Structure 1
Amino acid sequence: MLVSQANLNLNFDTNSLQRGKRYFSQGRVQNLVRETEGMSIQVLRAEVAGSQHQHYITEVRFDRYLPGKISTFCSCPVGFRCKHAAAVILQANYEEQTFTVKTEPETGTRNTSHTAEIWLERAATVSSSSDNSSNPSAWRTCCTSNRTAASKRYR
């Protein structure tokens, strides 16, 4: 989940959140694009169909490491922390839950989109282990095992 329910409650008033849930459930969020800026800033951009058949351009930014801080911008009259921004977050959460984390049929393990983070964790484990500090094959194993797993995922 990109943004927890608790953080949604902290960043949106009850009315905007309820109306955003309704917009999400009605499928009003269109052309959702997810981007990452730098190491931790997540950006969501989408068009949201308003109540008068007008489409509003909505952008949501948050930091993975500061989950309570959410910035929103919308072309609607409210402009920020509106029902359109709440609907965009709910749509992104739904897509994250539905499409990103899946179970691999052969292994029963989770398939995540954080391949680089997994590699860094493995590399840190190998480098901190005193037994492997002079063993270059440990590094090769760390690096190639993740590459092999990633290539199987995209076949």
Structure 2
Amino acid sequence: MGLPREVLMWESISKVVPKVNAVNLSLGVCGWLHAVVSIEKQLEGDGKNALLAAFASHPSLKHVVIVDSDINVCNISDVEWAIATRFQASEDLTVIKNVRGSTLDSSADQETGLTTKLGIDDTRPSRKPKEKFELAKIPKSKRAEELVCKILGL
């Protein structure tokens, strides 16, 4: 259902930000109401421009999360980690009230078809060091590996 729409979204978002890496209409809502989009952010505001373009290109879309290129748009754990570590609701949340939505959205006003849409700019803030927003890496230890193998009988 969502694949052709992902292409249209990619094209629309590409007009307002320098580079779109990936667009995923997630399977949890049948590839229709929720999207995660990865971009190469150049300037503050690119994330918000991308989410507004996503909504404009897909009127049924209800939620969109814009992430940086280091986040896999198809891995919900990556997306949740990014929201937990990069998102501030007071600065990065866009709520659009009383707009046309999807007939598949049972929470929308069934008489008017109006809903509220939610956009999350989950890109790293440019004013802070990039390394503060990288996934922590646990250094490998030969001794730890030996102990694990011993415990597991490998």
TM category, shorter: under 0.3
What's the TM-score, normalizing by structure 1?
A: 0.24
Normalized against structure 2, the TM-score is what?
Answer: 0.25
More helix by share: 1
